[in-house]
Amino acid sequence: MQRIYLDYAATTPTDPNVVQAMLPYFHDAFGNPSAIYSYGQEAKNALEEARGKVARLIGARDEEIIFTSGGTEADNFALKGAAYANQKKGNHIITSAIEHHAVLESCKFLGKMGYKITYLPVDKYGLVDPDSVKKAITDKTILISVMHANNEIGTIQPISEIGKIAKEAGILFHSDAVQTAGHIPVNVNELGVDLLSMSGHKLYGPKGVGVLYTRKGSKLTPFMHGGGQERGRRASTENVPGIVGLGQAAELAGQDLEGETQRLIGLRDKLISGIVQKVDRTHLNGHPVKRLPNNVNISVEFVEGESMCLNMDIVGICASTGSACSSGSLEASHVLLAIGLEHVQAHGSLRFTLGKWTTEEEVEKVLEILPRIIGKLRAMSPLTKNLSPG
């Protein structure tokens, strides 16, 4: 069976070019970058070359790039590092209700440690109002953290507007750009961010490696203690193959950003309009335009998200849902609830995220199969009993 993978927001396959670039650093050039002999220096050079490639993708300076074990660590580092470093200045953090768990759980932890957290609401499209950020600022505010684009509904936030507000107030500004770096233009100066998170495996690089961009002069307390790697900001022997892979992925991503964006928008909009036209009582979640080029998130009334996902899996289609029954909890997505969906609508959501290897034929296949699956599930659903025909 030919698999149709439409869950690129969860993880991407590592680009074969990236794998090729990584291979020498497992065995031939395996040295420890901290060693002074040439094996070590070879690895060190590769590390620094990768740092330059990542820096160029986001308009940063090389020394502002800190490699981490992933997007989650980058988010934890930004939140906790800024909180600890600015303890004397204040204890208030502003974030949004729709952040990734890596940010929300870090905030929850800091809340337990005595920090005050403001979770800004979003509108029905998932947008944070920059004015609400401004209004939430107090003389104790030390950090603002708002994601660049949301991983579930794809909404792209007005980051540069929020950046201006943060700068005026002299407050550190962090953005989780895991879903945008390498996918849409990300420039740390245009966005006005001081801290920015990236992850390798969301841009066709390997898993287990990420980046925290840290603007020169931003105060962060390291939370990995040990050797002096990454200029003393993040101890542990560097994941050289992973970092080389991330560098290669960053370089590749920068090469055809605009062309790939236009291609994906075409496929995305074909999938959205196809589903909405073919299946009644469905609607798009997230913003119609301020949206990631690869994100489709649809609520389907009277059907459970995981039933749709499992039925699609049987025919080889990989998609995800904002309903978490399958993972053992009955919680609906915090993002879908934050944009005002009822629990039952949130449980009936489907997310397709497209990528580099998504083809028009694949989209057409989904448009052929999904309406049938929904029809079958609705016919069995007790929820549709009261639904008048047509």
Ligand X SMILES: *Cc1c(COP(=O)(O)O)cnc(C)c1O
With respect to ligand X, which residue has the nearer C-beta, 9 or 346? Answer: 9
Cα dihedral sign, 122-159-247-267: positive
Taking the complex as a whole, the smallest distance from the CB of residue 9 to ligand X amounts, in Å, to: 6
> Pick from 12, 199, 299, 321: which binds ligand X (CB under 6 A)?
199
157 touching ligand X, by CB under 6 A:
no
54 touching ligand X, by CB under 6 A:
no
Specify whether the CB–CB gap between 212 and 68 falls below 8 A. yes
> Pick from 72, 294, 323, 345: which binds ligand X (CB under 6 A)?
72
- The CB-based long-range contact list for 85-91 (8 Å cut-off, 24+ gap) reads 85/219, 85/220, 85/221, 86/142, 86/143, 86/172, 86/219, 89/140, 89/142, 90/138, 90/139, 90/140, 90/141, 90/142, 91/115, 91/116, 91/140, 91/142
CA angle, corner 129, sides to 123 and 135, nearest 5? 125
With respect to ligand X, which residue has the nearer C-beta, 151 or 282? Answer: 151
Query: Of 70-78, 110-118, 292-300, 352-360, which segment contacts ligand X by CB under 6 A?
Result: 70-78
246 touching ligand X, by CB under 6 A:
no
Q: Report how far residue 22's alpha carbon sits from residue 3's, in angstroms, rounded to the nearest whole number.
A: 26
Span 100-119, contacts to ligand X by CB under 6 A: 100, 102
Q: Taking CB under 6 A as the rule, which mask of x and - marks residues 204-223 in contact with ligand X?
A: ------x-------------
Q: Report how far residue 200's alpha carbon sits from residue 208's, in angstroms, rounded to the nearest whole number.
A: 7
152 touching ligand X, by CB under 6 A:
no
Taking the complex as a whole, the smallest distance from the CB of residue 179 to ligand X amounts, in Å, to: 5
Total interface residues for ligand X by CB under 6 A: 15
Query: Of 116-124, 173-181, 286-294, 371-379, which segment contacts ligand X by CB under 6 A?
Result: 173-181
In the bound state, the residue with its beta carbon closest to ligand X is 71
In 3-state terms, what secondary structure has residue 351? strand
With respect to ligand X, which residue has the nearer C-beta, 72 or 299? Answer: 72
Any idea what DSSP says for residue 205?
A: S
Taking the complex as a whole, the smallest distance from the CB of residue 51 to ligand X amounts, in Å, to: 18
With respect to ligand X, which residue has the nearer C-beta, 70 or 126? Answer: 70
Residue spans of beta strands (DSSP E) within the chain: 4-5, 65-68, 92-96, 116-120, 141-145, 172-176, 195-199, 210-214, 282-284, 295-300, 317-318, 349-353
Which of the following is catalytic: 107, 309, 318, 325?
325
- Which residue matches tokens 């990768």? 50
322 touching ligand X, by CB under 6 A:
no
178 touching ligand X, by CB under 6 A:
yes
In 3-state terms, what secondary structure has residue 144? strand
In 3-state terms, what secondary structure has residue 107? helix
Q: Report how far residue 127's alpha carbon sits from residue 6's, in angstroms, rounded to the nearest whole number.
A: 24
Query: Of 64-72, 130-138, 187-195, 362-370, which segment contacts ligand X by CB under 6 A?
Result: 64-72
Active site residue 325: yes
> Pick from 15, 176, 194, 301: which binds ligand X (CB under 6 A)?
176
Query: Of 21-29, 155-163, 197-205, 276-284, which segment contacts ligand X by CB under 6 A?
Result: 197-205
Strand 4-5 with 92-96, pairing: unpaired
With respect to ligand X, which residue has the nearer C-beta, 176 or 306? Answer: 176
Q: Which residues pair with 353 in a beta bridge?
A: 7, 295
Phi then psi for residue 93, to 5 deg, are -125, 135
> Pick from 96, 106, 151, 295: which binds ligand X (CB under 6 A)?
151
With respect to ligand X, which residue has the nearer C-beta, 108 or 283? Answer: 108
Taking the complex as a whole, the smallest distance from the CB of residue 19 to ligand X amounts, in Å, to: 18
With respect to ligand X, which residue has the nearer C-beta, 102 or 366? Answer: 102
Q: Which residues pair with 95 in a beta bridge?
A: 119, 145
Query: b/e string for 296-317 if b means 16 or more Cβ within 10 A?
Result: bbbbbbbbbbbbbbebbeebeb
With respect to ligand X, which residue has the nearer C-beta, 151 or 311? Answer: 151
Q: Which residues pair with 213 in a beta bridge?
A: 65, 196
Sites of contact with ligand X (CB under 6 A):
70-72, 75, 100, 102, 147, 151, 176, 178-179, 199, 201-202, 210
Catalytically active residues, by annotation: 325
